[in-house]
Structure 1
């Protein structure tokens, strides 16, 4: 009898640890991206806003796809010549300077 209760307690604790760990993993991975609505003439796009240098370096690299009305919006503090590279890109992109 005592052995059966101990086994149930161990199983319950394991499930509780997995549930709590899963919650914290989900919470840390949830989508915290900033999204801007960009309109050009009569067409609107949803664009992820990237601000930090690491976000700018990563860009869309590593993403498997992007929706047809989606993009990425890069802000620069001052006018200049800026270059982009395609590291770890898994699909072709178009770059539009606005």
Structure 2
């Protein structure tokens, strides 16, 4: 049950951001990418990994790294899309 709660807490913000990529408001996205969004995503993932490893749940290390990798994919995709010039 705890894993499901953590997964949903991590998924909701990411899904919201990905869903709003289809209706971008250029000024808002530029500001978010430059100031807030990457730091918030990194902090969320880092806290999830730290919480599992601080309890010495080394069996959770591989899933935690998978969470980090899964979280980085949309970030890298969004960065790549935001650097393209029309």
How high is the TM-score relative to the length of structure 1? 0.25
Considering only CA atoms, is the larger Rg found in Structure 1 or Structure 2? Answer: 1
Higher normalized contact order (CA 8 Å, seq sep 6+, divided by chain length):
2
Higher normalized helix content (fraction of residues): 2
